[in-house]
Amino acid sequence: MSTIRPATPEDAPAIAAMVRDLAEYEKALHEVEADEGHVRAALFPADGHGSTHAHVAEVDGVVVGMAVWFLSYSTWTGTSGVWLEDLYVDPAHRGSGLGKGLLTTLAQVCVERGYRRLEWWVLDWNAPSIAFYESIGARPQDEWIRYRLDGDALATLAAG
C-alpha cells in the first residue's frame, strides 16, 4: 500500500539519503554538503517556523520518494507559489504513480491556498523526467536564463 504524506522528523534520514541518490543520478554527488542534520534543521527547526517543507511517498511503511519544496512569490500575480526543489522516487518504484502523486499533492496545496504556480527545473538531458512532466501538462519556461552567484563570487559581491 502506498501513501503520500507530509514529512516528519523521523523521515530526515530517508530524505537525506534520497538527496544523495538524486545527486548521484544527476552526476553531482560531489556537490552535496547536506546531511541528515541539515535536513532536520531545515524542515523541522527548533523554533517551529521552517521555510522549507517536504512530502514523502511510502510503500508498505518505507519512505521511497520525496518532494522538498518552499514558497516562492510572484510580483506579477501578487501571490505565493510552490517552488519544488527536489522530486525523487526510488528507481524500483518509478512508474508506479508515486511521482505523480507527490506532484498532485503539491498542486492541491497550491489550489487550497490560492497559490498560482507550481514550478521547478529539470536538467536538459533528463529525458525521462521531461517526458513525465510534459505528460501531466507542465511546460518548459525556456525564455528565461538561470543565473547563480555562489562561492568566491558571492563573497566578493557581499564584501562590496
- Grid cell, residue 39, equals 535536513
Q: What distance in Å separates the CA atoms of residue 157 and residue 160, rounded to the nearest whole number?
A: 5
The two counts, helices (H) then strands (E), for the chain are 5, 5
Which has the closest alpha carbon to 64: 6, 129, 17, 20?
Answer: 17
Active site residues: 133
Q: What distance in Å separates the CA atoms of residue 66 and residue 86, rounded to the nearest whole number?
A: 8
